[in-house]
A and B are shown apart, each in its own frame.
Chain A
Amino acid sequence: MTPAIRCVDLHKTYPGKPPVEAVRGLNLEVQQGECFGLLGPNGAGKTTSMEIIEGLLPATRGELEVLGKRWGTDDHEIRQRMGISLQETKLSEKLSVIETITLFRSFYRRGIDPQAAMRQVELEPKEKARIKSLSGGQKQRLAVACALVGDPDLLCLDEPTTGLDPQSRRQLWEIISALRHRGKTILLTTHYMEEAERLCDRVAIVDQGKVIALGSPNQLIAGLGGEHIIEFSLEGEPFDPAHLSNLPTVTHVGTDNGQFNLSVGEPHKALPALLARLAESQRNLSKLAIRHASLDDVFVKLAGRHLEETSEGTPKS
């Protein structure tokens, strides 16, 4: 089966002084029927990669095939079979939901009924509402409906939930999950690890224009060596965590702003050992937590910082 997307050594350099290398050798193969995520922090080159794949930006060099065709020769054919939502589009505020979907439907040779697209994104109650009156989440769902209405073989969603409140985000996740279970090929970008874990069959973690890890969320997390993380902080003087690495099932020891993170395979073995070790050295805990490892831990291990950094440089979640 032809892959839905295949790109080899894709580069994009924006001219300037100095030139900005937004994408530096992207290699990807997205299979038909899978939901594939590009996960990375802001500025990692996700949107640039996406727009190259969508044929909206020319690559500086590299090879790219979309649905077995190439930009430059089969543009119209690719566009007929591809639905996209841009990171930010302000659709005409004066038009209603159904008018907007109908407009987009008219561009495609074949597609689904605008009403059906509207149902798939759960906007029926807003059918005749002007776009101006929609909430952020509703606008984003409308953008997805416009991407769906041409019944595409490939759906590209650029940061579909960025800036939404948790409830709207969850609603959109359910919509995207439903599409995925219906067998649509989906490429999405996100900087939310939870989104990638929940929605994607496979994830490429992108940093500084390159793929630094690729696999299913479970594989990537398993690659840490332990599926659980023990987080703890200590009272008193600094503490050298190096000699904790020989505790049972501990595979990785990390520190983060005075907090220690142990990647462990079996917390029920590692935790008593850790507590015993701390008691020996007469140290008191000020914080202790056990949680499942996430893609953020994968990113931290590979890139040395968190995925979701706020402007102050502190982790958001």
Chain B
Amino acid sequence: MNHPLYQLILARVREFTREPEAMFWTYGFPLAMAIALGIAFRERPVERVSVDVAQESAEIAMHLREIKSLKVEVHPSQECLERLRTGKTDVVVNETNNGYTFHYDQAKPTSVLARNAVNDALQRYAGRADPKVATDVILKEPGGRYIDFLVPGLLGMSLMGGGMWGVGFVTVDMRIRKLLKRFLATPMKRSHFLIAVMVSRMLFMVPEVLLLLIFARLVFGVVIYGNLLALVALILLGALMFSGIGLLMATRAQTLETISGLMNLFMLPMWITSGIFFSVDRFPDAVQPYLRILPLTPLIDAIRSVMLEGATLSSLGWELGSMLIWSVVSFAVALKFFRWG
């Protein structure tokens, strides 16, 4: 219990959990994003259009009621027209000697839709045969919706922000407070300190990831198609990589302004270009190779492949490779040039 590593990790955990702002930015912010964007791009239920049938043609109402997308009411014809005028119904239909008469508003899309749907239904009932078979496949499988695309992006963004703030910013803050120097004047092993910062970051990440995934599952029905262990491995590697990059940013910085500036300079392009909110494929081909080597792009691509397509780790060689290189290089450089005093 009195091992320095344990005490250092404990100190970090205490500092973090006693800081409400840090808790919000780590845990609340990704959730808030998921809620806001999930609602903005949610699917709407199929809209029903309403049809009024004039009382003297009441028998056609029976046929129309068989069509699910129609809401059928029967009223005296004068009242039907009044309801159309006041927007209470989309179309009014009555039977004439040789066909049907439609009253509707041409400027109103639902009105036009309703007129065509009712016409189709009545013509078919009257014996019209369509020369070709039309088959409708409607996109509503989980995995293909925007929210399914978004959650892996938010996961990657959260891992990036957490590593930057939780390692980079925190370390520079300790340097400014001369706490690093004070630690250096004790027999504390430097490696213990750095391991403690990393391990505590990994600990803070667990609820961060779970919260987002469980929330997405419960509220938006986002499911994980791929192997859960593969996803865990990717998340760990991603968190490790961004902890390393956070440490790299913090290597020399002497003020909070410097580290904030560095981190934003590094993160801002990736927020836009690494496929958090929309696919990297939308950028011109010429810049694609550059976007692919940014550290966030392979992480999000890989998480997306595993979550949505059920990809295996072995098919993600390029992504895993570039993440490993980012991790190793940033740690190596950070440790070599790290400034304690």
- Which residues from chain A sit less than 8 Å from chain B, CB to CB? 54-57, 76, 79-80, 82, 84, 86, 88-92, 94-95, 99, 102-109, 130, 146, 150
Q: Is the interface of B mostly helix, strand, loop or mixed?
A: helix
For chain B, the bracket of interface size reads: 20 to 34
User: Complex: how many Å from CA A150 to CA B185?
Assistant: 12
User: Complex: how many Å from CA A146 to CA B182?
Assistant: 10
- Across the interface, B179 reaches (CB within 8 A) one of A55, A90, A94, A107, namely A90
Residues of A within 8 A of B341 (CB): 56-57
A80, B18: Cβ atoms closer than 8 Å: no
B135 CB within 8 Å of chain A: no
Residues of B within 8 A of A55 (CB): 185
Contact mask for chain B residues 177-195; partner A; CB cutoff 8 A; 1 contact, 0 none: 1110111111110000000
Give min CB distance, A188 to chain B, whole Å. Answer: 15
Closest A-B pairs by Cβ, 4 of them: A90-B177, A106-B7, A94-B18, A107-B186
Q: Is the interface of A mostly helix, strand, loop or mixed?
A: loop
B187, A103: Cβ atoms closer than 8 Å: no
- Across the interface, A95 reaches (CB within 8 A) one of B2, B11, B181, B188, namely B11
Of listed A102, A109, A146, residue having the most chain B CB within 10 A: A102
A79, B187: Cβ atoms closer than 8 Å: yes
A86, B187: Cβ atoms closer than 8 Å: no
CB nearest neighbor in A for B22: A94
B8 CB within 8 Å of chain A: yes
B3 CB within 8 Å of chain A: yes
Task: Tell me the total A-B contact number using a CB cutoff of 8 A.
Answer: 70
- Across the interface, B19 reaches (CB within 8 A) one of A56, A90, A94, A106, namely A94
B317 CB within 8 Å of chain A: no
- Across the interface, B14 reaches (CB within 8 A) one of A79, A84, A94, namely A94
- Can you pick out 20 interface pairs between chain A and chain B where the beta carbons lie within 8 Å of each other? A54-B185, A56-B185, A82-B185, A89-B177, A89-B178, A91-B177, A91-B179, A94-B18, A95-B15, A99-B11, A103-B8, A103-B10, A105-B2, A106-B3, A106-B4, A106-B6, A107-B4, A107-B188, A108-B187, A130-B18
- Which residues from chain B sit less than 8 Å from chain A, CB to CB? 2-4, 6-8, 10-11, 14-15, 18-19, 177-179, 181-188, 341
A89, B182: Cβ atoms closer than 8 Å: yes
Give min CB distance, B339 to chain A, whole Å. Answer: 12
- Across the interface, B186 reaches (CB within 8 A) one of A57, A91, A102, A150, namely A150
B179, A56: Cβ atoms closer than 8 Å: no
A95, B14: Cβ atoms closer than 8 Å: yes
CB nearest neighbor in A for B185: A84
B184, A56: Cβ atoms closer than 8 Å: yes
User: Complex: how many Å from CA A69 to CA B18?
Assistant: 42
Give min CB distance, A132 to chain B, whole Å. Answer: 10
A106, B15: Cβ atoms closer than 8 Å: no
User: Complex: how many Å from CA A80 to CA B177?
Assistant: 23
Residues of A within 8 A of B18 (CB): 94, 130
B15, A92: Cβ atoms closer than 8 Å: yes
Given known A90-B178, A95-B14, contact A109–B187 (CB-CB < 8 A): yes
Residues of B within 8 A of A150 (CB): 186-187
User: Complex: how many Å from CA A302 to CA B11?
Assistant: 49
CB nearest neighbor in A for B187: A79
Known: A55-B185, A89-B179, A99-B10. 5 other contacts (CB 8 A): A56-B185, A79-B186, A88-B178, A89-B177, A95-B14
User: Complex: how many Å from CA A130 to CA B19?
Assistant: 12
Of listed B178, B182, B184, B188, residue having the most chain A CB within 10 A: B182
User: Complex: how many Å from CA A95 to CA B182?
Assistant: 16
- Across the interface, B185 reaches (CB within 8 A) one of A86, A88, A92, A105, namely A86
User: Complex: how many Å from CA A84 to CA B184?
Assistant: 11
B186, A104: Cβ atoms closer than 8 Å: yes
A86, B182: Cβ atoms closer than 8 Å: yes
Give min CB distance, B88 to chain A, whole Å. Answer: 62
B11, A76: Cβ atoms closer than 8 Å: no
Residues of A within 8 A of B14 (CB): 94-95, 99
Residues of B within 8 A of A103 (CB): 7-8, 10-11
Given known A56-B185, A95-B15, contact A102–B179 (CB-CB < 8 A): no
CB nearest neighbor in A for B341: A56
User: Complex: how many Å from CA A91 to CA B177?
Assistant: 7
User: Complex: how many Å from CA A89 to CA B341?
Assistant: 12
Give min CB distance, B136 to chain A, whole Å. Answer: 59
Given known A54-B185, A56-B185, A105-B2, contact A92–B178 (CB-CB < 8 A): no
CB nearest neighbor in A for B19: A94
CB nearest neighbor in B for A78: B187
- Across the interface, B181 reaches (CB within 8 A) one of A86, A99, A104, namely A86
A76, B187: Cβ atoms closer than 8 Å: yes
User: Complex: how many Å from CA A99 to CA B18?
Assistant: 14
Of listed B11, B179, B184, residue having the most chain A CB within 10 A: B11
